[in-house]
Amino acid sequence: MRLLSYLTLSSGLFCSAIQAASYSVNSPDGAIKFTISDSQSQPQYNVSFNNKPLLNTSKLGFEFKHAAPMKENLEISASATSSYQQTWQQPWGEARLVTDHHNELAVTFKDKDSKDTAFTLRVRVFNDGLGFRYEVNQSNALYITKELTEFNFADSHNSTAWWIPARGWNRYEYTYNTTPLQQAAHVHTPFTLKNADGVHVSVHEAALLDYAAMTLNQRRPGTFVADLTPWSDGIRVKTNGKFKTPWRTLQIGDEAIDLLNSHLILNLNEPNKLGDVSWVEPGKYLGIWWGMHIGKNTWGSGEKHGATTEQTKAYLSFAAEHGFDGVLVEGWNIGWDGDWFYNGDVFSFTQAYPDFDMKAISEHSKQVGARLIGHHETSGNVSNYRKQMHDAFELYQNSGVRQVKTGYVADGGNIKRIDERGHPRYEWHDGQFMVNEYLDNVKLAAKYQISINTHEPIKDTGLRRTYPNWLSREGARGQEFNAWGTPPNPPEHTPMLAFTRMLAGPMDFTPGIFDMSFNGLGDKTNRPQTTLAKQLALYVVLYSPIQMAADLPENYLAKPDAFQFIKDVPTDWETSIALAGEVGDYVVFARQERKRGQYTGNDWYLGAITDEHARSIDIKLDFLESNKKYEAHIYQDGEQAEWKHNPYDISINKRIVSAKDKLTLKLATSGGTAIRFKAI
């Protein structure tokens, strides 16, 4: 039985508001209210939205290894408020200009029986959500064994949640579960949920620096407690006593798309620390990559070796001819022939296979005008990579490489490092050690004017603002699962990603598979569970400043009409608007092209995708400039299209439209619509 706990729980809560200092701060529009209190000498907070409780009393605090916990016998000793409004510019992004408008409250807690300050809680409340962080400033080292932050959802009886499990073998690469909120157990963030009244919330964190990732553990019905990913020795976070936690964030909206139109995570990160980043180049690329996943090529040497001089040159020529910026080449370096998954020591990051002539390839790339994109697969052996990192980046820089895809393929908790005493230690991808390791890699790359696209990464928390050469990352199930995944990504996967993983930041999903009939290495049924038109729409829906055309060149040449959209679609945007959508069901984005060096581009693009259900969606074109006419190049599912038996049926047509027009998008099962609005 269970019921009684609810009743007494709530009565319990009502009591506990008596005789306490409490301070509140509202969002600029007044809809969100955050209250901090020291009721019962425990630091705690609650949140309301539109005058309804969103989070009931939720505890705050820490436990440490060799120091007294910060959770009891505390009182508020100081508080300060301020307001802030500013618009800042991104070097690249889903929007050029971002407005940061928030009210801030900082509250300091001290021990009741002494002058000792515990921590300051700093809260920033925006119209689209809020973030709070702890600031601790002690003279002695503090090893965190527990962060006590709670998220106690007031409507948890009636909420629906979308989640993937935390601390599992496969990092973030799971299909999403849709369950009643109280059925979720231990989950990753972004953690998205919907209340009975339609209010949508996503819990995540911003500016994850020198700290462990926060996962969420539902320890009481509706109450999720922070569960920091531990070091291999069990400690959660090791600090010198002076630290700021990442911002614990809540994106809040009346409807699902409000989460997509929020810039909260970016606004809670520090400005660009790299100065001039004109060398950071968004763009589109091809790759010697999909061939390996479908068994046509191999990473390792031999007859089917993919990374040959000849094939790389051919790809570079094809890329340049069709307006792509680069070509990713995997399996170019020595180490792929052995049992590399369990022994990352085998990888060299400077020695190419004999049949891969870096010099000749680099010259060819200059001639044709498409860049080689580098690849560093560590298989999670970071010590081996660290030793070679300088030389590896130097080699690539000298070869004209501006972008490197890094890989950390290892099961969760199996990142191998050699500790101070020379012993191997096994860490999590999202523990404090790797949080720092990933960033060190990005910082070092910047010295060589190289941008990083991290696979098997730490989740994104908006650090691209501070380090704009951290271009993109993986961190969810990508296209390759459609080659061999068990199961392949279901039709709902991409409309699910839009409201979950994508709230964290750009994802290198690698869309654009045109040939759905390949025999994967996996089950023969493996293939993208989408229509062709949906593959096109993904370029607009799933934002990344770098987008791959993932399929083989011959498959694009076989469908030149559809390929045209991939050639046209940009990867850098003046502005982006989520127009419609429901979590895991469907989503529609409109984005305006950004022309580098100009204050605005001309063309608009639209992408719409749906899950296993066909649907038609009415869209007003009032996002277009009112004084302009546009030639709409429409790529939509054909009359007979449906993902299972007729994925290729696509209708491509052009018509003249203006901001006054409406469009009815007809999406097939797991279908999509992609539109270029060409200003004329």
- Which stretches of the chain bind a copy of itself, using CB under 8 A? 1-6, 8-9, 11-12, 156-158, 165-170, 173-175, 177, 179-180, 182-183, 185-186, 218-221, 223, 293, 299, 339-342, 407, 409, 411-413, 455-456, 474, 478, 480-481, 483-487, 521-523
Residue 89, both tokens: 């510019």
Nearest to 61 by CA among 51, 71, 47: 71
Instruction: Give whole-number Cα distances, 527 to 174, 295, 299, in Å.
Output: 17, 13, 21
320-350 burial, b at 16+ Cβ within 10 Å, e below that, comes to bebebbbbbbbbbbbbbeeebeeebebbebe
For the chain, state the CA radius of gyration: 25
Residue 125, both tokens: 């409340």
Torsion of the alpha carbons at 428, 432, 433 and 436, rounded to the nearest 10: 120
Least distance to a copy of itself, CB of residue 452, Å: 16
Nearer residue to a copy of itself within complex by CB, 3 or 115: 3
Rounded to the nearest 5 percent, the helix, strand and coil shares of the chain are 20, 35, 45
Least distance to a copy of itself, CB of residue 432, Å: 20
Pairing mode of beta strands 451-454, 403-407 = parallel
Least distance to a copy of itself, CB of residue 256, Å: 21
Nearer residue to a copy of itself within complex by CB, 327 or 634: 327
Nearer residue to a copy of itself within complex by CB, 481 or 539: 481
Least distance to a copy of itself, CB of residue 167, Å: 7
- One-letter amino acid at 412 equals G
Of 147, 427, 480, 593, which is the active-site residue?
A: 480
Least distance to a copy of itself, CB of residue 65, Å: 12
Nearer residue to a copy of itself within complex by CB, 96 or 293: 293
Least distance to a copy of itself, CB of residue 347, Å: 13
Nearer residue to a copy of itself within complex by CB, 340 or 589: 340
Nearer residue to a copy of itself within complex by CB, 1 or 114: 1
Least distance to a copy of itself, CB of residue 481, Å: 7
CA distance 650 to 648: 6
Nearer residue to a copy of itself within complex by CB, 166 or 632: 166
**Strand, coil or helix: what is 330?**
coil
Least distance to a copy of itself, CB of residue 74, Å: 20
CB atoms within 10 A of CB 678: 18
Nearer residue to a copy of itself within complex by CB, 295 or 400: 295
Nearer residue to a copy of itself within complex by CB, 27 or 156: 156
Least distance to a copy of itself, CB of residue 412, Å: 7
**DSSP 8-state code for residue 545:** S
Three state DSSP letters for 616-664: EEEEECCCCCCCCCEEEEEEEECCCCECCCECCCEEEEEEEECCCCEEE
Least distance to a copy of itself, CB of residue 338, Å: 8
For residue 454, what are the β-bridge partners? Answer: 406, 473
Per-position DSSP letters for 120-159, written without gaps between them: EEEEEEETTEEEEEEEEE-SS-EEEEEE--EEEETTGGG-
Pairing mode of beta strands 672-679, 604-610 = antiparallel
Nearest to 610 by CA among 664, 541, 555: 541
Nearer residue to a copy of itself within complex by CB, 84 or 341: 341
Whether the CB-CB separation of 131 and 102 falls below 8 Å is answered with no
Least distance to a copy of itself, CB of residue 454, Å: 12
Residue 608, both tokens: 């719409």
Instruction: Give the chain's count of helices (H) and strands (E).
Output: 13, 38
Instruction: Give whole-number Cα distances, 48 to 8, 15, 42, 143, 268, in Å.
Output: 21, 18, 20, 33, 21
For residue 226, what are the β-bridge partners? Answer: 216
Whether the CB-CB separation of 31 and 251 falls below 8 Å is answered with no
CA distance 361 to 315: 11
Nearer residue to a copy of itself within complex by CB, 456 or 611: 456
The residues, any chain, with a CB within 8 Å of residue 522's CB and separated by 6 or more, are 483, 484, 485, 486, 488
Whether the CB-CB separation of 266 and 258 falls below 8 Å is answered with no
CA distance 680 to 663: 19
Nearest to 92 by CA among 523, 442, 597: 597
CA distance 365 to 309: 11
Residue recorded with tokens 């307001």: 83
CB atoms within 10 A of CB 12: 11
Query: Is 480 one of the catalytic residues?
Result: yes
Least distance to a copy of itself, CB of residue 181, Å: 8
Helix or strand holding residue 84 (H, E): strand 74-89
What are phi and psi for residue 278, nearest 5 degrees?
A: -60, -20
- One-letter amino acid at 618 equals D
Nearer residue to a copy of itself within complex by CB, 344 or 570: 344
Active site residues: 480
